[in-house]
Amino acid sequence: MRTGLSLLLLWSTRLIGSDAMLIRSNPSYVSVWRPMTANSEHSRLTLRHDLNEDPAYVKVEGRTDTGFIFPAFGSSQQDDDTGTLYGGVVFVYNLTHIDIFVSHINNNNRKRNWTAIYTGDESKWSGPKYLNRRYESIAVQAKVWRSRDLPPPTWSNTTRVTNQGCVNEILMHSLNRYPDLIVVQIRKGHTLSQGQVESLIAVADGWGEKDFELLIRDGFLTVTAWDLKEFRRNERVVIKHLKDVEADNFQIMANLASYNLINIQLHVLDGANRGFRFDGVGSVMNEAEPYGGLVYGYNDSMVAIWVPHLGNGIIEESKVAVFMLGKSWGSGFNKQMTNNVDIVIKVMDMLVPTCLLEVGSLKTRRLESSNHDKYNDSTLKFSVGDQITLTCKTGLYSSEQNVTMACAHRNNGSWDRHLPEECYKLCPDIDPTTLNTEIMQNDNTTRPGRTVLYACSPRYRHVSGDLIRRCRKDGSWSGTAPVCEECKCPCSLVGSVPIKSNETEKLKQRIRELRSSLSVQKNMTAKARRQKVCASDPRPSARMLGIVFCVGVLTNIMKIS
Over 70: is that where the pLDDT of 201 sits? no
Over 70: is that where the pLDDT of 111 sits? no
**Rounded-to-integer distance, Cα 522 and Cα 526, Å:** 9
The average pLDDT across 384-390 equals 90
Q: How far is CA 464 from the centre of its chain?
A: 55
Residue 76 pLDDT: 60
Q: Output the CA–CA distances (angstroms, integers) from residue 526 to 182, 532, 533, in the order listed.
A: 107, 10, 11
Percentage of the chain beyond pLDDT 70 is: 73
Over 80: is that where the pLDDT of 397 sits? yes
DSSP string, 104-169: ----TT------SEE---TTTEE--TTS-SEESEEEEEEEEE-GGGSPPPSEEEEEEE-TT-----
pLDDT band (50, 70, 90) for residue 17: very low
Over 90: is that where the pLDDT of 267 sits? yes
Task: Return the bridge partners of 161, or none.
Answer: 219
- CA nearest to 187, candidates 66, 283, 56, 300: 56
Pairing label, strands 291-292, 320-321: parallel
pLDDT band (50, 70, 90) for residue 75: low
Residue 140 pLDDT: 97
The per-residue pLDDT for range 145-158, each reduced to its tens digit, is 999 899 989 999 98
pLDDT band (50, 70, 90) for residue 80: low
Over 50: is that where the pLDDT of 8 sits? no
* Count of Cβ atoms closer than 10 Å to residue 506 Cβ: 13
CB 29 within 8 A of CB 106: no
Q: Output the CA–CA distances (angstroms, integers) from residue 51 to 30, 184, 382, in the order listed.
A: 12, 20, 16
The per-residue pLDDT for range 213-246, each reduced to its tens digit, is 566 666 788 899 999 999 999 999 999 998 999 9
pLDDT band (50, 70, 90) for residue 4: very low
Residue 511 pLDDT: 76
Residue 3 pLDDT: 35
Which has the minimum average pLDDT: 333-337, 375-379, 431-435, 484-488?
431-435
The per-residue pLDDT for range 285-301, each reduced to its tens digit, is 777 788 888 999 999 88
What is the residue-averaged pLDDT of the chain?
Answer: 80
Percentage of the chain beyond pLDDT 90 is: 30
Over 60: is that where the pLDDT of 561 sits? no
Residue 77 pLDDT: 66
Pairing label, strands 451-456, 134-135: unpaired
Q: How far is CA 337 from the centre of its chain?
A: 45
Maximum average pLDDT range among 42-56, 112-126, 163-177, 309-323: 42-56
CB 207 within 8 A of CB 14: no
The per-residue pLDDT for range 520-533, each reduced to its tens digit, is 667 766 666 666 66
* Count of Cβ atoms closer than 10 Å to residue 40 Cβ: 16
Q: How far is CA 325 from the centre of its chain?
A: 41
More confident: 474 or 82: 474
**Rounded-to-integer distance, Cα 331 and Cα 57, Å:** 29
